Amino acid sequence: MSRAAWIACIATLAVAVFVTARRTYKARIRGTFVLAVKRVQSPTVILFSAYLLVAALVVPVSDGETGSPLLWLAPAFPIVYAMASFSAAANPKAPLPERLALALLFAGTLASAAAITLACVSPAFVPVWLR
């Protein structure tokens, strides 16, 4: 992966962690933290991660891969989902621009995690535009 792609991915992850920490603190103060905890306990996210884990164990590793990227995305998905849930709990009735900004941030965070996973586990399959 190119240096610019690495910097963009790491910067996105850092911003997401900062935003999550700050907004989680606000949610604790406002008393809306419980909403995020209930949302994170959703079985849908856990089942999807379990599906990724099973797929990672069943699908054979291709030439050029050191392991299955799905094995690393299985824990990344619920972590990013939890970050998004805790961030959203800071202001449950946020205006549309704020909700869209958070959605874009955490979609970018998941994409960054996927790009880093692909670069580390399957460097032969990194798209040309990321090289």
Task: Give the pLDDT confidence score for residue 123 in this predicted structure.
Answer: 83
Distances (CA, A) of 86 to 1, 38, 64, 71, 83: 31, 10, 37, 24, 5
Cα–chain-centroid distance for residue 56?
A: 18
Decide if pLDDT at 4 tops 90.
yes
73-124 confidence digits (pLDDT tens): 999 999 999 999 999 999 988 899 999 999 999 999 999 999 999 898 888 8
pLDDT one-digit tens code per residue, 44-58: 989 999 999 999 899
- Please enumerate in sequence order all residues whose Cβ is within 8 A of that of 31, keeping only pairs 6 or more positions apart, or say none: none
Q: Which residues of 114-124 are buried (b: 16+ CB within 10 A; e: fewer)?
A: bbbbbbebbee
Domain boundaries, the chain: 3-126
Average pLDDT, the chain: 91
SS3 state of residue 94: coil
